Structure 1
Amino acid sequence: MENLKIEASERKINTKGDLKKLRLEGFLPGILYGDKEKNLPLAVKKILIKKMLESSNFMSSVIEMSIGGSKHKVLTKDINFHPLNNEPIHIDFQKIKPGTKVTVNIPVKFINNENCPGLKMGGVLNIVRRKIELRCAAENIPAEIVVDLANKEMNESIHISSVKLPDGAKPVISDRDFTIATIAAPTVVKEPEPAAAAAGDAAAGDAATTAEGGATAAGDAKPADGKTKPGETAKTPEAAKKPAAAAPADKKK
């Protein structure tokens, strides 16, 4: 892996006011943790760190740091970001020496997607791990872990044992052959068959017709409470009580 380079200066200021002024001047406060040496407060250009952060493997890259004429091999140990604008506000580095074993997260890269039978058949690449934590020598940190998808079939799983790692590098998870990705079958929502859909619509129509016919029959029947049916003239109580008028008697001649 090609080493990154960065220039830093020793930082003498530690108060909150001084650190705020340092940030306003475009610098980022940080600390270089030594192997056995004393920790060194330092300052680096913020714009340089932001540019390096665009690289997906920045946290696992060996950096050549220059401080006042002396050079050191370092790894980025931690970065703090502002909770509102997500701007970096502090950075820590760890000094390393040749042969030093370090633990780093390495990004996974998938290749030969176009030669994967499972994907050609409509399968989906289900990525379980986008980064893998490795324990390896500081001078032999890989830039990426390459996973070849050629000849991978539908429903096939890709485990860490099938991936070639650099000499001396071992995954931190060592108690199982964990999965990196799978070629999953596509998820399809089954549509109802035309015959079943037509039968359902016909049943719904018959039910509606039956309900309508029942309502009409109920309207034609005479209500049990004696109320007037539609079209009849209602009789008032007075008309019901008044006797019918007698026919006039014939006059004697």
Structure 2
Amino acid sequence: MANSTSGESVLQRISKILDTFDHSSPVQSALEISKRTGISRSTTYRMLHELCHEGFLRRIEDGRYSVGLKLWEYGVRANGFEHFGRLARPFLQGIHETLGFNVSLATLDQDEGAVVYLERVGARENTQDLTEVAGRLPAVLTATGMVLMAFSEPRIWERGLREITVEQLAKIGMDRPQLRALLAKIKSEGYCHLSGVLVPDSTGTSVPVFGKKRELLGAMTFVAPRQEVDLRTQLPVLVSGARSLGLAAAVPSPSANPTEWETYSFSALGV
């Protein structure tokens, strides 16, 4: 693809434009997009016109832009993460109703070293919980990310250890050898519990979700205030939910209706 004077390809500029849309900025003007991306106004206007023509963006009545339906369609039709998130929702709901905490399912973007949240159940406005569906957080700053790194291939460990910044190490209060030891401990014990890293009074507790052949599918996590944590009673609920989701995901039925699992009960597992 042709490059701009800045050296960016067309695809890179399109990615920068799409990246400007999020929960805080779902609708934007061309000028706002130009400022946020650093792309010239004329190029921004031209690319916005083309993106609207292809259905990736849409131009609303006041002249501003929002994400179009085509991106959503592509994600639903061809992305297994969408199905996995929908499949997980009844299990997350069961954990939420049992424990009373926000619960999420996430996967690891290995290239970016970030946790991507696929589904979440709990209070929409909760200052103790920074997770949101389709949102990202640094893997090394979350219990979710630590679990996903610990149970990934060793090269993922090494990359994370190599790329972690001094600021991130300061946030978790350890050096690289200590982080390596923590990842080994998480893999041995089967869970991660972090306290006060991103939010001072908040904790995250996470466990892996495995598939039929023990392949890592994701991580399930609950976020709770520090003073309300009792892992002796809460961790078994999370583990049971993650195991049950793994069993459900092993069923070869891509078109399965998630409501089939709505009657899921922890009491059936003896929890």
Structures share fold, TM-score greater than 0.5: no
Give the TM-score normalised by the residue count of structure 2: 0.20
Q: Which has the higher strand share?
A: 1
TM-score norm. by structure 1 comes to 0.21
